[in-house]
Amino acid sequence: MSNTTIQLNEELYDYLLSVSLKEDEVLTSLRKTTSSMPGSRMQIAPDQGQFMAMLIKIMGAERLIEIGTYTGYSTLVCAMAMDKGQIIALDSDPVSTSVAKEFWKIAGVDHLIDFRLGDALVSLDKIINDEDGLSSFDFIFIDADKRNYKNYYEIGLQLLRENGIIIFDNVLWSGAVADSKDQNENTVALRELNDMLYKDNRIELSMIPVGDGLTIVRKKEQ
């Protein structure tokens, strides 16, 4: 027993995966493809993906937004957890997302994914103003440029239904957020986000040390 979270070394992490991860072959193949690409560290951990998929199944989520797609692993793992519905996936990189589209089609879930290339803030504004998206989404995953996390959050909260969930990735930033001497722009942005979420009475939250740190936010009933 322990009253603190256990630290995972490589051996223990490998064990964790060996007795818990059940990854579809197409997901494994996508991870392998991504590993040789620029920015491959942006790929979420497979156990994180499996955790997100379980949340989607428990919620019965049908309307999702993903902000930051890269090569589409998180999009794919979420789509494969859905029986019906739609994921609006937002990203500005046509190169990495071309890989994503290929694997979505291989997995047979491309019909569940509405990919929109361009500035995510512009796309989110359009969903609010042109598509009557207010309070209509079940689940939002934010894994994009850290400087805009607070902006994505405020818009996302408008789009989220009551009791819906927002998940933020990279909230521990390899531990840098705890180092007050680290004044890197991304580190500061994440530190400010974490402080803001903690003080926000509109939500409940839990930060967990999965991957590079996840914060799970539930929008309270008004």
- pLDDT bin (cut points 50, 70, 90) of residue 1 is low
Give residue-wise pLDDT tens across range 169-191.
999 999 999 999 999 999 999 99
167 within 8 A of 216, measured Cβ to Cβ? yes
Q: Which residue has the tokens 């920015």?
A: 39
Distance CA 200, CA 161 (A): 17
Cβ–Cβ under 8 Å, residues 85 and 111: no
Domains assigned to the chain: 24-35+42-219 (3.40.50.150)
- Predicted local distance difference test score (pLDDT) of residue 146: 97
Q: What is the pLDDT of residues 184-219, one digit of tens each?
A: 999 999 999 999 999 999 999 999 999 999 999 999
Q: Which amino acid is at 165?
A: I
Average pLDDT over the chain reads: 96
Q: Please tell me the pTM assigned to this model.
A: 0.96
33-44 in b/e form (b: 16+ CB < 10 A) is bbeeeeeeebbb
Residue range 108-167, pLDDT digits in tens: 999 999 999 999 999 999 999 988 888 999 999 999 999 999 999 999 999 999 999 999
